Structure 1
Amino acid sequence: MSDRHSVILALQWPFRLLAQAALVGLVVITAVDVIGRVVFNSPLGFAYELVGLLLGVSVYAGLIGMNWHREHIRIDLIEGHLRKLPRFDRARAAMVWALEVIFFTIVALYVARQATQMLRWHETFLFLPLEKWLPLAIYAGFAALAALSTLISALPGCQANREDLS
């Protein structure tokens, strides 16, 4: 394993931990809200907003490691046909890689634009004492890191291995 590869894996560790903590938080908040609503007829007022925030954290923080390890959902409608043309494998892989980088860059830019619009209006959540632009700015940063992770994962010597998933 190269030094560059080790550094990248070490940089991803906090994001994986953050995504895992957000998923656990989703389960706990949802369970407490449902129990409170059904058993005590007193739901958590902020549960809906907090679940939305934690869902965003889990998705966007998880994208960084997912892109690095190339663990995307694959739609293989034409893969069988493309396998019949092995000379185009490199071109196809380069095109898929480029589309991924472009897609995640557009996501990062779009979410950042939404954050700046929310900042202008100073809109806050109904129950949480937090302006909406702040989580969007964090999500934009995570999406930018996901795009960067996709870009770096294509560089020679930086490819992730299956045993790195720990």
Structure 2
Amino acid sequence: MNDDLPGMELVRSRGVVRVVETILDTACVVILILMTGVTTVDVIGRYVFHAPLLGAYEASEILLGVLIFAALPRVTWHQQHLTVSLLDAWLGPWARRVQQCLINILSTLMLAVLTVYLWHRANELAEYGDMSNALQVPIAPFAYAISIMTGIAALAALLQIFRSPRR
């Protein structure tokens, strides 16, 4: 693969990657803590005080969506997606590298298309002023965040094409 692309030295030094991973990891931790807090307060309110937390289910849904897409760039960068190894036993090292390159190209294309679609959908949500039902929170900011994180995952998949293959 070609490691002479502009910016690849910075990627290899992991400076940018470390910063992005730290930001996304922190976001994931904060979201998990929020989800845990919302669920705990809802359960205690529901079963002890017979007064569930208004919008707890909706808040958990929104937070879970953001959590999944906040983790996607890291999973993509470290190539930790779920895989099925049907052909690996019959492929040699060279064929496996070609296979991984093709997978990275396809992943990049699919994530890029998904990013554009999600961005357009976020624009629609913002234009219509869509709000969540129970909490009356605008949905567009979450959709934009999900689109941006999908774009970061697409960039991670693209950079995987040019990284040295794993041994």
Q: Which residue of 1 aligns with 2:96?
A: 89
Return the alpha-carbon distance in structure 2 between the equivalents of residues 125 and 99 of structure 1.
Answer: 34
CA distance in 2 between counterparts of 1:127 and 1:38 reads 20
- The Cα RMSD (Å) is 2.1
- Equivalent positions of 1:1-166 (< 5 A) are 3-4=10-11, 5-7=13-15, 8-81=17-90, 83=91, 85-156=92-163
Aligned length in residues: 156
Give the deviation of 1:153 after TM superposition. 3.1
**8 Å CA contact 2:43, 2:52 repeated in 1:** yes
After TM superposition, the score normalised by the length of structure 1 is: 0.82
| Residues 55, 134 of structure 2: 8 Å contact kept | yes
Residues 17-57 of structure 1 show CA distances to partners (whole Å, capped at 9, x for unaligned) of 10122122212211221221122211111211211121122
Kindly indicate whether the alpha-carbon contact (under 8 Å) linking 1:18 and 1:57 is maintained by their aligned counterparts in 2. Answer: no
* Runs of 4+ in structure 1 over 4 Å off: none
Distance, in Å, in 1 between the alignment partners of 2:83 and 2:97 is: 17
Could you tell me how far 1:112 is from its partner in structure 2?
1.3
Deviations 1:68-116 (A, max 9, x none): 11111112233333x3x44422321111111111221122122112212
- Structure 1 spans left out of the alignment, 5+ residues: 161-166
AA partner of residue 25 (structure 2): R
When the two structures are superposed, what TM-score results if normalisation uses the length of structure 2? 0.82
Q: Secondary structure at the match of 1:147?
A: helix
